[in-house]
Structure 1
Amino acid sequence: MRCENPGRRCVHWHGDGAAAPRWQGVGRAVNGLRHEIGRALAPAVDLIFPPRCPLCGDSIAAQSGLCAACWSELTLPGQPACAACQCPLSDRTATEAGSLCAPCLDKPPRHAGIFAGTLYDDASRRIVLAYKHGRRLALAPMMGRLIAARLGPLGPDWLIVPVPLHRWRLWHRGFNQAALLAREVQQRCGGTLVVDALLRQRRTRSLGGLGRKARRKELAGAIAINRRRADRIAGANVVLVDDVVTSGATTDACVTALKHAGARDVRIACWARVLDQLRAAKRNARSHRPRAPRDEIAGSASAARQPPPRRCLDPKPSPCTRS
């Protein structure tokens, strides 16, 4: 393709993939060789370091799986559920496919639905922590399979875009967990992977422990479209991939940027979806546990501190045996 600046030397490639420069072909060859070497050495690595379940530590067949007992602990999204936020619906509320819950009816989201592989619970939380912070990158294929099963096949006009990381956080962590999941989803569902469609313009603090309003305020203006990818976003259908969707502040910021760039439908695909109803149910379960009254607890404690009664050895009546 002809360069837009013919009067000066251009360092950017404006052609298509078939006529790419030689250095791009070399890079693909190196990546392919690295992948083949990794596959060849995988049996030796598994022999030296036997695969272990990331949840319980039992021996498993491959690094990218779970044991049978821990598989049963995962909570999969049930039906019927809200088509927008995955909130469980009653049979009376879900009259037809694509039903929405009351909050989504009151304020419809800008995206076309959330497709979560699992619901956020203790098992899915430990998996994502082992994957993201424990560097168990071999879990990405298993996580991607569950996400792809919920998402379904995609046409060639769909773009798969991961939630971006700030460059300093990417440098510190060494990888973008959402980008690895997006690659697994693309291999199973189809579509085109565009890793750098979104950019995080400024570094934000960790969103853990922040409320919904604080999260949205922290992310205001932090995510934008990469100008070099704006033409591909305009008029395209997009699947936005993230590891965990909690309040939706991060994904809403990404959806807003994609919509401003001209994207048509935007779906959200994630490994785990945090539902307020699940957290409320867990809090209620903890608060409704049967507890002994304080008087009984105090009485049992004082009784435990009292010394045992004295035994009198004198057969004659004495003050210690007199009733």
Structure 2
Amino acid sequence: MSAARSRALDWLLPPLCLACRNPVGDHHALCPHCWGGVAFITAPVCDRLGTPLPYDIGPGAVSPEAIANPPAFDRARAAFRFDDVGRSLIHGLKYGDRLELAPALARWMARAGRDVLDGADALVPVPLHWTRLFRRRFNQSAELARHLSALTGIATEPMLMKRVRRTAHQVGLTRARRIENVTGAFRIAEDRSTLVRGRNLVLVDDVLTTGATLEACARVLRRAGAARIDVLTAARVVDGPGAVHI
């Protein structure tokens, strides 16, 4: 009966590529062309920033960028680069209300973030301001964290952090303006403060561009006593073979 229902569903709603919407063999999959267009980030990567390194120089290697500008978080990992097909997937989830993308993105994130998820006590999605959440009806970061939680068994804490100040959209802003935009925008929910001190937390977001938002969240968690703060995103901006905005 289950197989019959599955065939009937495929007939009514045939599986389509997550990116280009052309027919594919399975739900929540990419066609061969789009799969080849996703620039997955694989080892070797900078241990702090998770950006690709030109060659493997051993465990714990860090990039010049991480040495010159160490981030407020401990480590960051991302599944793929924010370009071409990757950008269309992120925009589909974030702006196109395509929640069916979240399970696939979460699977790729779980694979890319194995080391930061190891020993994590909780997943903390980057919060939206209530006005933006009201208009969008969902928080894409919370959706990714929810599916990551189901895959890994790590608890998700969508109410741990609050965005207490409505900020302008970060798109198009310089790094300096982005930092100014999110300064003082986040705090720990009063009834969740005990969930931070001494715990290993993973901040979850859809994309890391300059990193200003995630840095602001990490500083708040650090001041609240978190033992370890890592970052896991579906995508990240990478300029050139090893450069990164942080």
TM superposition score normalised by structure 2: 0.89
1:130 aligned partner: 92
Provide the C-alpha distance between the structure 2 equivalents of 1:278 and 1:245, rounded to a whole number of angstroms: 17
2:193 aligned partner: 230
How is 1:1-323 mapped onto 2 (pairs within 5 angstroms)?
46-91=10-55, 94-152=56-114, 154=117, 158-277=121-240
Provide the C-alpha distance between the structure 1 equivalents of 2:227 and 2:7, rounded to a whole number of angstroms: 45
Give the deviation of 1:235 after TM superposition: 0.7
- Which amino acid counterpart does residue 222 of structure 1 have in structure 2? A
Give the deviation of 1:162 after TM superposition: 0.2
Q: Which runs of 5+ in 2 are unaligned?
A: none
Contact 2:53–2:242 under 8 Å retained in 1: no
- Which amino acid counterpart does residue 88 of structure 2 have in structure 1? R
Q: Secondary structure at the match of 2:80?
A: strand
- CA change 1:43–1:157 in 2 (3 A) is same
Contact 1:244–1:272 under 8 Å retained in 2: yes
Q: Secondary structure at the match of 2:240?
A: helix
Q: What CA deviation, in whole Å up to 9, does each residue of 1:248-290 have, x standing for no partner? A: 001001101111111011110000010132699xxxxxxxxxx
- Which amino acid counterpart does residue 139 of structure 2 have in structure 1? N
- CA change 1:73–1:226 in 2 (3 A) is same
Provide the C-alpha distance between the structure 2 equivalents of 1:161 and 1:264, rounded to a whole number of angstroms: 14
- Which amino acid counterpart does residue 247 of structure 1 have in structure 2? T
TM superposition score normalised by structure 1: 0.69
Aligned pairs, number: 239
Contact 1:170–1:176 under 8 Å retained in 2: yes
Identity score, percent: 35
Q: Which runs of 5+ in 1 are unaligned?
A: 1-40, 281-323
Q: What CA deviation, in whole Å up to 9, does each residue of 1:187-226 have, x standing for no partner? A: 2223211111110001111110111111000001011111
- Which amino acid counterpart does residue 159 of structure 1 have in structure 2? A
Higher strand share: 2
Give the deviation of 1:183 after TM superposition: 1.1
- Give the number of the structure with larger relative contact order, counting CA–CA contacts within 8 Å between residues 6 or more apart: 2
Contact 2:204–2:231 under 8 Å retained in 1: yes
